Amino acid sequence: MAITQNTGQESNLTDGMHVVVDALKRNGIDTIYGIVGIPVTDLARHAQEVGIRYIGFRHEQQAGNAAAISGYLTKKPGICLTVSAPGFLNGLLALCNATVNGFPMIQISGSSNRNIIDLQQGDYEGLDQMNIAKPFCKAAYRINRPEDVAVGIARAIRAAVSGRPGGVYLDLTTAMLETIVDKGEIEKNFFVTKVPAAGAAPSPESVEEALTLLAGAKRPLMILGKGAAYAQADGDIRAFIEKTGIPFLPMSMAKGILPDDHPQSAAAARSLVMENADVVMLVGARLNWMLNHGRGKHWNPAGKLIQLEIDPVEIDSNRKIDAPVVGDICSSMKMLLAGLAKHAVKAAPDWWTMIEADKKKNDAKMAEKLNKLTSPMNYFNALNAVNEVLKNHQDIYLVNEGANTLDDARNVIEIFKPRHRLDCGTWGVMGVGLGFAVGAAQTTGRQVVTIQGDSAFGFDGMEAETICRYKLPVTIMVFNNGGIYKGDSPNLSGGSDPSPTTLDPNAHYDKIIEAFGGDSYFVRTPDELKKALEAGLSSKRPTLINVVIDPSVGTESGHIGNLNPKVTGTH
């Protein structure tokens, strides 16, 4: 867009801010999540003017989370817009979390005058933002001249989506945004990024080596990670699993690549298959803490490993990978599937006998937990009620965060479609829930349900107003047991203050959404929970359900209590 002069005639002049908006539009950016202020308020206004949807948040971290999950769902970088200094820093956690999880995202922040910042002369919100951002993202760039906008945005897009995706920081100086330039001269420099995330096929030799190893296995296993879900190679992954008959184990955000009720799912026999598999094929799953680093009692020490991975540095990161397949997941799976024509890959019958026996035993134990009635509810019977409803709404996107709320929902709530379960991922960071919910609702146009602990909700609860303001079809469930992990922990001093992990079990979180015009429910029984959830989904209105959970239930640190230092001494 060009600047208009007093004559009413369109000028051939424009400014840096309009150049940025034009470049974003031309590169297919259709949504910006953020919070406005100096010096980017007009950037958001002009983006909205040209048809880019702007969704304004109450905190930059949640705007960043929305952008990140949008990137995960679309394989295109989500855009987060922040003001300088404090706003930039608020968004930085989401940017770093996106990088750790492999979500493509670009944080665009306005920044103050370079000459004053560089001499540390005390400018308004003066901060060397680009250099601060560098350790926390894949790449960081600063645009100092309108002439460089096309290149700067192209570099940011390409860095965000190529190789292993991640977060990119893009610094827009105040001086650049307000610089007046000739529109015709700028047009000469414009271009649109082409094929920013080109495929990278693995070597045929590595694929052959992997298939040979699998063909010799008696007890093979496939572990699917969120990298596999991100790749959107769903059809080839499913075809490979079903053609070979190999059991699969989905990591949390890989649930739904194949439906959770698929007969080859080994989720209910997780410990058995990991401890006894003789060849494990990792597909977009890293051997980090979430898989015990590939070591210890949960792994067969004599087992062989195949790893499909886009980043060669990840190979051998924790233990020897016997058959590395370095390339993008889509290309790798196509080549592996084609290679089955000359490789007989099958799981031995006795392997499936072991698995089915273990699944039957564990399913019976889980059914006992799910169907046990308690008053107040516990996590399992409450989640069972939720699962009974959601099985009839398989198109919804589920966002899940918390400690016990996260761990138990992962095991109870069934997912039937790929990329329909969104959670805190690799870092286990709290406070992603409502940002993810807004991003998923905006990106997909589908309904979203969040299941959050009361502690997790405290990080992002104000975004209930954002959900109401934009009339998004989001149903929020707060599992309220009155505490971090549990609500009945004592104050060791004997004093009247609550313990460090105690919250308010009598809190009416449902009242929060009422203030903004949403629908609210306060439930104490499984039947009340089911009715409230059905009502929220039927209305497609912003809804919050306060789910009362027994304060005495919950495990310290959830399933990762082993990471919590055990202190036994006294003062």
Domains 13-189 and 372-557 share a fold: yes
Question: In the chain, where are the structural domains located?
Answer: 13-189, 204-353, 372-557
pLDDT for the residue 119: 77
Cα→Cα distances 300→43, 219, 222, 279, 320, Å: 55, 11, 14, 9, 13
Tell how far CA 485 is from the center of its chain: 22
Low-confidence ranges of the chain (pLDDT < 70): 1-10, 557-564, 566-571
426-469 pLDDT, tens digit per residue, is: 888 889 999 999 999 999 999 999 999 999 999 999 999 999 99
Element holding 53 (H helix, E strand): strand 53-56
- Is the CATH number of domain 372-557 3.40.50.970? yes
Classify domain 13-189 at the CATH class level. Answer: alpha beta
Q: Are 56 and 36 in contact (CB under 8 A)?
A: yes
380-434 pLDDT, tens digit per residue, is: 999 999 999 999 999 999 999 998 999 999 999 999 999 999 999 988 888 999 9
CA distance 77 to 375: 46
pLDDT for the residue 486: 86
pLDDT for the residue 2: 47
Residue 275: name the closest of 249, 257, 255 by CA: 249
- On average, the pLDDT of the chain sits at 93
CA distance 528 to 544: 13
CA angle 304, 309, 315 (to 5 degrees): 55
pLDDT for the residue 354: 97
pLDDT for the residue 174: 94
Report residue 452: phi and psi, to 5°: -130, 145
Q: Are 297 and 240 in contact (CB under 8 A)?
A: no
Put simply, whether the predicted model's pTM sits higher than 0.85 gets the answer yes
CATH of domain 204-353: 3.40.50.1220
62-95 pLDDT, tens digit per residue, is: 999 999 999 999 999 999 999 999 999 999 999 9
Q: Are 169 and 140 in contact (CB under 8 A)?
A: yes
pLDDT for the residue 289: 86
CA distance 496 to 348: 61
pLDDT for the residue 120: 84
CA distance 49 to 357: 61
Quick one: three-class SS letters along 369-384?
Answer: HHHCCCCCECHHHHHH
pLDDT for the residue 568: 60
pLDDT for the residue 567: 58
